[in-house]
Amino acid sequence: MDEEIDLELVEAVGDVLGERAETLAVAESCTGGLIGGALTAVAGSSEYFECGLTTYSYGTKRQFLGVSREVLDDHGAVSEEVALEMARGVRDVADTTWGVATTGIAGPSGGTEEDPVGTVYIAVSYAAPWESGASYATATRYEFDGDRPTVRAKTVERALTDLEDELEGRRVG
């Protein structure tokens, strides 16, 4: 990654996960493993980080995350719907408390008028205790400026920030 990893952000996320004995898995498309790399740059991440899956193609999104053919056909890989299915899928496949997913157009080509280069969807999912009815997933659309390495770096930072925000929202006490 051309830009520096914000280790304070990674450590803050890790501290909360570790304190609460919660776990995390990530599903990455446009970031190609950079979130997993950022998380494992911090010593002790094995305490809370279970796995990262780079699911770049439609086939791998379906095979490893359970993203449906219908959602891919109807919305395309770069969509809120796919990001949500990716985040839920990696959380459930890895049997973790949290799942984070990224899908987007890092460039320099591939953008459209509706979804220009730099369009990214980031989803965060939470697995609440069974039968509580409190599990959920949320996704946000972003448009980042910059070249491919910059868009990818901004996506990593934003994904970790979104996770930190969700962790804060679920903080007990």
CATH number at residue 28: 3.90.950.20
Number of folded domains that form the chain: 1
- CB-count exposure of residue 37 (10 Å: 0-12, 13-18, 19+): middle
The predicted structure's pLDDT at residue 3: 60
Helix (H/G/I), strand (E/B), else coil: 16: helix
CB distance 60 to 81 below 8 Å: no
| 1 in a structural domain | no
| 47 in a structural domain | yes
| 173 in a structural domain | no
DSSP 32: T
Kind of pairing, strands 98-104 and 136-143? unpaired
| 2 in a structural domain | no
The predicted structure's pLDDT at residue 36: 98
| 51 in a structural domain | yes
The predicted structure's pLDDT at residue 2: 44
Residues in the chain, pLDDT under 70? 1-3, 170-173
| 126 in a structural domain | yes
The predicted structure's pLDDT at residue 4: 72
Here the tokens at position 39 are 């998380």
| 120 in a structural domain | yes
d(CA 60, CA 13): 27
The predicted structure's pLDDT at residue 5: 77
CB distance 55 to 32 below 8 Å: no
| 129 in a structural domain | yes
Residue 69: give the domain boundaries: 7-168
Q: What's the distance, Cα to Cα, between the start and end of the chain in Å?
A: 37
